Structure 1
């Protein structure tokens, strides 16, 4: 029996049944009251405090933040092992670090959740505790981009329209977007964005990104190849312009950098000037103005890695890693010359070609088309590419990837001339067509009938059967580029090699292209004389 109860009973037994009973009962009541008060005071003195906690966010958390969320309960002055932690009324295990209980809430559904931490107390009293709520929001904002019709040039202003819901911040690249009350937005950019995306972030940090695809429709291309020297020759230039005046062509392919590494105009790219590659064979702004005034598009061809001019300059100026080498560390020689190929794996060589491409695009060339964007012919085992960290096929595709944005930002379409055999033998010259097609607006396979072996694609004599070999090989390129977004614009043959080529043979190739659904082509004649 508790001491206070014993005391009360003893007092009652000692009191006779007399007039003093009332007084004694009052005294007893007072004692009881004192005891109760003492208990109450004791309870107040032992009342629980609040356990300090850290790690709660200021607002809602997303799934990733929840996974990273760590709550720390400070149990100083108490046994941390005795701390009971619950989330939504269910026990949650924690780890002990000194006087701190470390808790990870773990996966939770969307909505409000309650966290409690308590130190168990004694008789008629609880220990210190804390209770906090947190919210989980795993729903990302909704972004819808309105489809825009294809443009005809990367130089056109581009309007991005769409709607966004549930976002606190919306941007297009580095530009902020302020949606209307209904979530609609519209933003006009001076030219087509490259690799841009609309990014929406909500209060919980959930992110939605939607790419902005500025599709450019490449106009029909009926072009002829023109060298720098041919353009500077009055007769040859006029013969090409006559093709345009009579409606037989709508595009001119004019060389920027040729197979000798010579740049046809006075380029201001530092390496072009230092190496002596820049010339004044023709005036690029004047040529572009004349062609554009006639309503013609101009494709600028850059022979990328076959570049004797820079290769020789680099080798003799101590930049030997700029040159493709043989296994002995000497320049890899081939039928192109003793020092002919620059090293596509070298960052400076890549930058040189990209700088030329961007410069030409800014001058007004409508397209930039790389040629010789490949490794040299011959056994790969006999070649070295100093500094290369990957295989040649991947390295070539990566170069085109690096080129795409600078060329597009400068306003031009990007194309790549490729070997016809790359459709079936990509490793032979490091041109993987599906890989390349992801990074260019079009691929231009060189399908010259004279370059195919007898029996290729089941065609007995390709050089004498121009329709058949173009029809078969071009179908392969269409298949390989499907789904990449790249178009196919074939190079066709207008020169004689083993078989005499004239209007009939040229037309047969054009007809084969039309039969597979392609109404574009570029004719190649080394003499710049065409049969159209």
Structure 2
């Protein structure tokens, strides 16, 4: 009988955590995102949340800075934040003669944020990424950020809100490695007005590349991930891996963004999408 009892699996009920999210004046913040591990929930109209899991609570809401980890029962007070940023490309972030004047402009004009290319328009990734495809595609051949975490720490010391820009479906280097993932014109790989190839957004296998870079940025301490070129090319007569109707295109982009939200949930980062830019 004792042995039989030992063989019965124990069901451990996850303990729920709850609390309230408010602004500096104590007013409730509705719709704030609360994270515990890889679980997320939203606060209700009264600012209350309830979430399963024993991990530290992290909170974010549009218009506010991210909270420090909190524990169950805490009233989390978020600080208002309106990012006012400058933008540095893959080249600009690593060149002192460009980066240092930009940081001076930020300080002089009381800006509080910096956008940094971590996967640029030409597919370049300026730091030593551990993502295997980045190395195979030659995306890390131009290394302007020797140590990503060290860079983040130095910029955070200036109290900057950091935004990682990641170009998604416009990626000539990745197409060079995986032409089977490319947008095509007839049988040929299609290229835009800059002579750059694009990834077919229907190819879910290709999504992991940009999302893995986003995870590296989030783990390094970036506050926000800005996905750029999250769209289909605006040219006509193109071929994709499946029929490209309005409904299927919307479904593909929506699914990518859902997957991004799921993958980035444990990091409690903000995500933004920029679909503009010519093809």
Same fold per superposition (TM over 0.5): yes
Q: Paired residue for 1:260?
A: 122
Contact 2:224–2:272, Cα closer than 8 Å, also in 1: yes
Q: Paired residue for 2:183?
A: 324
1:18-29 equivalences under 5 Å are none
What's the Cα RMSD here?
3.5
Question: What secondary structure is seen at the aligned counterpart in 2 of 1:189?
Answer: coil
Contact 2:21–2:32, Cα closer than 8 Å, also in 1: no
Gaps of 5+ in 1: 1-144, 163-170, 176-187, 195-213, 421-427, 430-532
Residue 334 (str. 1) matches residue 192 (str. 2) = yes
Could you say if the C-alpha distance between residues 219 and 353 of structure 1 is closer, same or farther in structure 2, counting changes exceeding 3 Å?
A: same
User: Once the two structures are superposed, what CA deviation does each residue of 1:291-325 show, in whole Å capped at 9, x if it has no partner?
Assistant: 1001001100001111111011212xxxx1x1111
Q: Which has the higher contact order (CA 8 A, sep 6+)?
A: 2
For residues 235 and 221 of structure 1, what CA distance do their matches in structure 2 show? 24
Q: Paired residue for 1:148?
A: 21
For residues 193 and 388 of structure 1, what CA distance do their matches in structure 2 show? 40
Q: Paired residue for 2:72?
A: none
Q: Paired residue for 1:310?
A: 174
Question: What secondary structure is seen at the aligned counterpart in 1 of 2:200?
Answer: coil
User: Once the two structures are superposed, what CA deviation does each residue of 1:21-76 show, in whole Å capped at 9, x if it has no partner?
Assistant: xxxxxxxxxxxxxxxxxxxxxxxxxxxxxxxxxxxxxxxxxxxxxxxxxxxxxxxx
For residues 77 and 258 of structure 2, what CA distance do their matches in structure 1 show? 17
What is the Cα deviation at residue 247 of structure 1? 4.2
1:298 to 138, 162, 174: 162
2:235 to 369, 373, 378: 378
Could you say if the C-alpha distance between residues 310 and 282 of structure 1 is closer, same or farther in structure 2, counting changes exceeding 3 Å?
A: same
Could you say if the C-alpha distance between residues 154 and 218 of structure 1 is closer, same or farther in structure 2, counting changes exceeding 3 Å?
A: farther
Q: Paired residue for 1:239?
A: 101
Q: Paired residue for 1:347?
A: 204
Contact 2:137–2:176, Cα closer than 8 Å, also in 1: no
Could you say if the C-alpha distance between residues 146 and 363 of structure 1 is closer, same or farther in structure 2, counting changes exceeding 3 Å?
A: closer
For residues 252 and 234 of structure 2, what CA distance do their matches in structure 1 show? 16
For residues 237 and 370 of structure 1, what CA distance do their matches in structure 2 show? 22
Contact 2:90–2:124, Cα closer than 8 Å, also in 1: no
Q: Paired residue for 2:268?
A: 411
Residue 189 (str. 1) matches residue 55 (str. 2) = yes
The structure that has the greater radius of gyration is 1
For residues 79 and 194 of structure 2, what CA distance do their matches in structure 1 show? 36
Gaps of 5+ in 2: 1-17, 23-28, 44-49, 61-75
Question: What secondary structure is seen at the aligned counterpart in 1 of 2:201?
Answer: coil
For residues 348 and 418 of structure 1, what CA distance do their matches in structure 2 show? 21
For residues 269 and 230 of structure 1, what CA distance do their matches in structure 2 show? 23
Contact 1:370–1:417, Cα closer than 8 Å, also in 2: yes
Contact 1:252–1:296, Cα closer than 8 Å, also in 2: yes
Aligned residues: 228
For residues 77 and 264 of structure 2, what CA distance do their matches in structure 1 show? 15
Could you say if the C-alpha distance between residues 287 and 216 of structure 1 is closer, same or farther in structure 2, counting changes exceeding 3 Å?
A: same
Q: Paired residue for 1:276?
A: 138
Q: TM-score, normalised by structure 1?
A: 0.39
Contact 1:408–1:414, Cα closer than 8 Å, also in 2: no
User: Once the two structures are superposed, what CA deviation does each residue of 1:372-422 show, in whole Å capped at 9, x if it has no partner?
Assistant: 11111212xx122215686222211221111012123223110111339xx
For residues 249 and 154 of structure 1, what CA distance do their matches in structure 2 show? 28
Contact 2:36–2:51, Cα closer than 8 Å, also in 1: no
Contact 2:225–2:272, Cα closer than 8 Å, also in 1: yes
